[in-house]
Amino acid sequence: MLKIFKLKSEFSKNVLTLMTGTTIAQAIPIAITPILTRVYTPENFGIFALFIAVVTILSVIATGRYEFAILLPKKDKDAKVVLALSSIITTITSLILLFIVVLFNSSLTKILGNPEISFWLYFVPLAVFLNGVYQSLNYWVNRKKRYKVLANNRILQSGTVSSTNLVMGISGFSSVGLVVGQILGQFVATVFLVLKVFKEDNIVFKNISKIQLLVFLKRYKKFPKIDIPASLFNVSSHQLIHMFFNIMFSATIAGYFYLTQRILGIPVSVLSSAVLSVFQEQAAKEYKQFGHAREIFLSTFKKLFMLIVIPSIFFCYYAVDIFIFVFGEEWKEAGVYAQILTPMLFLQFIAGPLGVMLYIGEKQEVNFYTQAILVVLVIFSFLVGATAKDVVIYLSFSFSFFYIVQLLVSFRIAGFFKGISHG
């Protein structure tokens, strides 16, 4: 793997810094997952998946998607205004959500189809607020190229979540341990970034005027106008799956699928997300300077392909056996799902980081249409699937198709086809 990322380039050094931190961060939950699957039931994971689905969908609107714009201004003083804007929108959104949850808790519980989610709905606004602040600060730190800070923060968050999950699970707190661990981990990670950013960059929001906020609110209006609907489609295409499995099948099936996604997401989180953090910064710089990002795009594509092709082939053959051995016989069905979803994982690993070109090229409208199609395909999968396994098969085909389209569009925006417009 080190041969793929040659240490001479700054890009590769930054990727490896983040990769190291993310690898350690993911190694912690990997190490304890075999224990968690024996102290938590599939039903517990299903309820937790429902909570995460609600929080993730609502987190899309928390910042107005202005956190993506933090990387774009040439001057740091302008980026600080965007950071402030994103934080203000997050606070307002979270307060509105709290008001809604307090007034309509019973109705929301009925819609979600699981009585156990009622209590945890009160924690949704807090989780959404923490997610919004965390993402905004994360993009600021990324802009400043403090990749060690990002890496250390991921380790801190992972350690907090995992230790809480483990202790509360062994103590018999069922799904409570999973939810509390998630919230506590996000809180600790957010506080860590707040202390780092405000101490090292001396950011003072009180010096930012309303006029400045309005200027950048208008300058990057494409993000809330186009990207919020597109991102809602994107997040919904993933998170509605957990909701539908809970409602149409059972919390147990939802738990199987959640564990599958959690395990398949490990290589994406460790490698793909590390590449993304560095790629988006350098691709944005190259795109602004030359009007294209062909060199960094093609180089990253080749590296991602080399990293994922062999593991994908291996997992196609041995996923079920691996799941039974590591997580227990009770989770065999999750292994079957993992085997079916492996082709999708292969494409997601490559298309995920490179798909950031849609944001760099400010082509959010393209993302909107492709995400809308994906949501339709997900709903179609549940409508035509007679069994849970059938649904998973249709989902694998649907997501694979989506990632192929996303990859082709990203190639075009990066400047690989003649006649492309970079406006």
What average pLDDT does range 293-319 have in this prediction?
A: 86
The pLDDT tens digits for 53-101 are 999 999 999 998 888 888 888 887 888 888 889 999 999 999 999 999 9
Is 331 in contact with 387 (CB distance < 8 Å)?
no
Burial 76-104 (b: 16+ CB within 10 A, else e): eebbbbbbbbbbbbbeebbeebbeeeeee
Terminal alpha carbon distance of the chain: 37
pTM of the model: 0.79
Instruction: Pick the range with the lowest mean pLDDT from 3-7, 20-24, 46-50, 333-337.
Output: 3-7
Q: pLDDT at position 403, please? A: 92
d(CA 281, CA 348): 20
pLDDT confidence bin for 386, thresholds 50/70/90: confident
d(CA 81, CA 218): 12
Q: pLDDT at position 420, please? A: 46
What average pLDDT does range 111-128 have in this prediction?
A: 91
Q: Which two tokens stand for residue 213?
A: 């906020």
Q: pLDDT at position 423, please? A: 43
The pLDDT tens digits for 3-40 are 555 545 666 677 677 767 777 877 888 888 899 999 99
Q: pLDDT at position 422, please? A: 44
Percent with pLDDT over 70 in the chain: 91
Q: Where are the domains of the chain?
A: 10-414
- pLDDT higher than 90, residue 306: no
pLDDT confidence bin for 267, thresholds 50/70/90: low
Of 258, 245, 135, 254, the closest CA to residue 197 belongs to 135
Question: For residue 211, what are the CA distances in angstroms to 67, 216, 320?
Answer: 19, 9, 58
Q: pLDDT at position 421, please? A: 46
What average pLDDT does range 265-271 have in this prediction?
A: 70
- pLDDT higher than 50, residue 151: yes
Q: pLDDT at position 206, please? A: 67
